[in-house]
Amino acid sequence: MVKMNTVNNKYILSIVVVLASLWSVGASAQSLKVGYIDTAKVLSDAPQADVARKKLEDEFNPRDQEIVKLQKKLKQLKEKQERDAKLMTQSESIKLERNIVSLKRDIKRAKEEFNEDFNLRRNEELAKLHKLISKTTIQTAEELKYDIILSDNVLYINKRVDITDIIIKRLQKIQQGPGRSSSKSN
């Protein structure tokens, strides 16, 4: 933990030193144009994030419903076991107990597979979104003549250098696609 903080501190210190040197060099020739994006806000507000969430929901909802069905079946078997325990023969009781144990195992396995598959797909969708955000940020920086764009791990940002909303608006335009008009004014 301490080693990680030291590495992060060294990384941040090196960025500050580079920025300071660029700032002093740039001050004599021209001013340095710095921008900042709040990646978390972009990830939550970009329409592509909503599309990715909906896509994952549609893809995984049937499997989730199947797990819910299995859980209901397990509950019914347990209720039957409690309700009819005195009426069942020993062999019926053993058979029911085996069914319950087997169903618990199936549910556990289904949940593990579901979570693993969901996490893989979510990470794939996040990687696509991060790539699009990065591409859009770079294009914006080049078009608006920014020298540096910062994100995350910044202690203080003045609102005048925060271009988060610009990036979100550009992502909205990308989502709308060519030829589609927006009901919102940008």
Over residues 97-154, the pLDDT tens digits come to 999 999 999 999 999 999 999 999 999 999 999 999 999 999 999 999 999 999 988 8
Contact (CB, 8 A) for 149 and 35? yes
β-bridge mates for residue 148, sequence order: 34
Ranges of beta strands (E only) in 28-122 are 34-37
CA distances to 47, 61, 186 from 54, rounded to whole Å, are: 11, 10, 25
Ranges of beta strands (E only) in the chain are 34-37, 148-151
Q: Architecture of 33-176 per CATH?
A: 2-Layer Sandwich (3.30)
Give the model's pLDDT for residue 17: 55
pLDDT higher than threshold 50 for residue 4: no
Q: What is the mean pLDDT of residues 68-93?
A: 93
Spell out the domain ranges in the chain: 1-32, 33-176
| Backbone phi and psi for residue 35, each to the nearest 5 degrees, phi listed first | -130, 165
Give the model's pLDDT for residue 13: 52
